[in-house]
Structure 1
Amino acid sequence: MKRSKIKTILIGLGRICSGLESDPFRKKPCTHMGVLQSEWGKDRFELVLGLDTKEEKCQEFQSLWKAETKQVSPDPSKSEFPKNIQLAVISTPSAFHEDWAKHCIRSGIPNLLIEKPVALTKAGAKRIHTLAKKHKTRVWINHERRYHPSYQYVKDQLIKGNLGNLKSIRASVFTSAKNPGFAFSKLGGGPLLHDGTHAVDLIHWFLGKPKLVDAKLERPKKGSVESRAVAWLQTKTGVEIFLDVSGGRDYFQFELDLHTDTHRIICSNDGFQFYLSETSKLYKGFRSLVPYEPKQFPKPETSNAFLGIYEEISQVIAGKKQTLEGTLSDNIEILDLIESIYRRKQ
C-alpha cells in the first residue's frame, strides 16, 4: 500500500533550511530541505512551497532545488498558505519564530517544526504553547541532538546505570566569532540563547531542569548582549554542571564532558570518547581512566539527527507514535533557565 505523503511548507529558506547542505564535510542530510529531498524524505514528505521574505532567497532556493517558492511579507499575518498543509517548518531568524508559529497555528496547520530557540523569551514560548494547546497543534523544536543515536545511547546507558552514577558535567560551546555580542545583537539575544541553548537542552534532557547556583556574563560594551556566559548549575540529586558559552576562540567546539564515579564520557561534535576506571599502570595503588569502545555504540553511518526528528514527525502524524521527544513545556523550562542566567547581577 502506497503511503500518503505529508504536505509540507518551509518558512525561511536560509542556512539551516538548505544552505548547509553544500558543506562538503557535513554528514548529509544536514538541513530541512536535505531531508525532504533525500530518498527517505521524498518517500514520506511532499514539499508544496518554500516561503521567504527576501526575493533573492526565493530565487536561489528555486534554482538550487527546482522547487516552487513565494516571497512573503515580513508580517506573517498577511501571508496565506496553500490548503491542506500538514506540516510547517519554521526556519526563519529566531526573532520571527513566535509570530510565524502563531500564524501557522491560527491558519489550521496541525504540525509545526520550529528551529531553536522556539522564541526569544520564556513568555513568547508560553504564548505559543497556550495557542497550540487551544488548537491542538503538535509542535517540535529542532534541538536535533536529542534525535542523534550517539546521544540517545549515552542517555540510555546512564539511565540503566551502565556508566555509573553521574557526578558532574562540563558543557562548553565555543565559536570563532571575534565579537559575538555584536554579531548577535540584531537577533535579540547572545550566544547563550542562540548556540548555548543546545547544551542547555541536552542537560535538561539528561537530568531535568537544574537550578542556577551562580553565573557571570561578559559584554563587549554596556547594554550589549553577552560575548560570554559562564554558569554553575546543580540538580536535585547533586550533579554539578559547569557551562561556558562564548566566542572569541580560533575554533568551534561543542562538547559535554560527563564524569561518573566509574566512567568519563566526552560527547562532542568532534566525536565521542569513553573511558573506564581500571587498575592504574602508572601509579601503584590507584585506578586510572582507560579509553575503550562500547560494543553497542551506534555506527557513524547510522547516526543522523535530522532524519531522527523527521522520522518521529512522520510516525506521530501516521498515528504510530503518540509522544514527542522535546515538548514545548521542556523548552519553556530551558528558556527560563537561560533567562535566570541573564538576570544574574554582575
Structure 2
Amino acid sequence: MKRSKIKTILIGLGRIGSSLETDPYRKKPCTHMGVLQSEWGKEKFEFILGLDSDPKKCESFQSFWKTQAERVDCDPKNVKFPKSIQLAVISTPSVFHEDWAIHCIRQGIPNLLIEKPVALSESGAKRIQKLASQYKTRIWINHERRYHPSYRYVKDQLTKGHLGNLKSIRASVFTSAKNPGLAFSKQGGGPLLHDGTHAVDLLHWLIGKPKLVEAKLEHPKKGAIESRAVAWFRSKTGVDVFLDVSGERKYFQFELDLHTDSHRIICSNDGFQFFQSKSSKLYKGFQSLSPYEPPGFPNPKTANAFLGIYEEISQVIMGKKQTMEGTLSDNIEILNMIESIYRQKK
C-alpha cells in the first residue's frame, strides 16, 4: 500500500526558506525548500505552495524550483489554506512569526514548523501556546542544531557520563554588523535574539533552564538595539555558563566550549574537537588535555540537521513517534532567558 505524503506549504521564501540553497559552500540541503525538494523529502512530503510578500522572491523561487509560489500580504488575515494542508513551515522574518502561527492554527493546520525565534517575546510565544493548546496543534521550532548528529552525539556522551561531569560552558556567537541579515533591526531583534537564540537553545538543551547571575548589554547609541550581550548563568547542578553574543566582529563564529572534570569539547561551525585528561608531557606529575578522535562520532560530510528535524516531523505526523524535541514550552523558557538579559539594562 502506497503511503500518503504530508501536504506542506512554505510561508516565507527568503534565505532560510529557499535562497541559501544556492550557496555553493553550504552542505545541502540547507533550507526548508531544499529538504522538501530533495530525493528524501519528496518521498515523505508533498509540496503544495510557496507564499511570500515580495514578488521578486516569488519569481526567483518559481524559476529555481520549477514550482508554484504566490504573493501575499505580510498580514495573513485574508489568506485561506486548503483544508488538506497538514504542515505549514513559517520562515518569514521574525516579526511576522506570531501572526502567521496564530493564523495557521486558526485555519486548522495541525502541524507547524516555525523558524527561530518562535516570537519576538515570551508573551508572544505564550499566546501561540494557548491557541495551539485549544486547537491541539503540534509546533516545532527550527533550532536545528538540536537535530544535528554531532551535537546529539555530544549530548548523548555527556548524559551517559562518558565525557565526565560538566563544569562550565563558554558560548560565543560572533557576527558582523555590516552583514547581519535582520539583526540590528526591529524585524531581527538584535544579535542576541536573532543569532544568539541558537546558543541559548543549546544551553537549555544541555543543562536545562539556568538562572541568570549577571549580564551586560552594549549599545552603539542611545535607543539602538544592542551591539553586544554578555551574560553569566548558573544551572541547578552548578554548571557555570558564560555567553558572549556580539555583532561587531569581522567574521562569523558559533562555538560552544564545554569543560568537564576530565574532558574538553569544542562544538563549532568550524568543526568539533575533543580532548581528554592524560599524563602531562610538559609537567611531571600533572595531567594535561590531549586531543583524540572519539569512537562513533558522526561523519561530518554526511551529518545534516535539517534532515533530522524533518525526519522527526514526518515520524510524529505518521504516528511512528510520540515525543518531540525542542517543544514550545522549551522555547518559552529560552525567550525568558533572553529577556532576563535584556531586563538587566546595564
Whether these two folds match at TM > 0.5 is: yes
1:27 and 1:180 map into 2 onto residues whose CA distance is 21
Count of residue pairs the alignment pairs up? 346
Call closer, same or farther: CA 1:72–1:332 in 2, change over 3 Å.
Answer: same
- Aligned partner of 2:25 in structure 1 is 25
Partner of 1:130: 130
The answer as to 2:295 corresponding to 1:317 is no
1:133 and 1:170 map into 2 onto residues whose CA distance is 36
1:64 is aligned to 2:78:
no
Contact 1:170 1:258 in 2 (8 A): yes
State the TM-score, normalized to the length of structure 1: 0.98
Q: Name the residue aligned to 1:173.
A: 173
For the pair 1:228 / 2:259, whether they are aligned, the reply is no
Cα distance in 2 for residues equivalent to 1:319 and 1:195: 33
The 4+ residue runs of structure 1 with deviation greater than 3 A are 178-183
Q: Secondary structure at the match of 1:242?
A: strand
Q: Which amino acid aligns with 2:260?
A: T
8 Å CA contact 1:179, 1:247 repeated in 2: no
Q: Would the alpha carbon gap of residues 241 and 141 (structure 1) be closer, same or farther in structure 2, given more than 3 Å must change?
A: same
Matches of 2:332 and 2:339, distance apart in 1: 10
In structure 2, the gaps of 5 or more residues are: none
Aligned partners of 1:213 and 1:232 also within 8 Å: yes
Q: 1:324 to 1:108 in 2, by over 3 A?
A: same
1:183-262 to 2 correspondence within 5 Å? 183-187=183-187, 189-262=189-262
Q: Distance in 2 between matches of 1:339 and 1:185?
A: 17
TM alignment of 1:42-81, pairs within 5 A:
42-81=42-81
Q: Does 1:105 align with 2:105?
A: yes
- SS for the counterpart of 1:153 is helix
Structure 1 residue matching 2:176: 3-state secondary structure: coil
SS at match of 1:231: strand
Is the contact between residue 181 and residue 225 of structure 1 (CA under 8 Å) also seen in structure 2? no
Q: 2:212 & 2:245 partners in 1: Cα distance?
A: 15
The amino acid across from 2:273 in the alignment is: Q
Asked whether the equivalents of residues 182 and 225 of structure 1 are also in contact (C-alpha less than 8 Å), the reply is: no
Deviates more, 1:294-303 or 1:47-56: 294-303
User: After superposition, what is the alpha-carbon deviation per residue over 1:248-290, rounded to whole angstroms, capped at 9, x for unaligned?
Assistant: 1111100000000000000000000000000000111111000
How many Å separate the matches in 1 of 2:235 and 2:51? 42
Measured in 2, the distance between the counterparts of 1:43 and 1:177 equals: 40
Q: What is the Cα deviation at residue 96 of structure 1?
A: 0.1
Contact 1:215 1:229 in 2 (8 A): yes
Residue deviations 1:152-189, cap 9 Å, x none? 00000101100000000000000022496995223151
Root mean square deviation of aligned Cα: 1.3
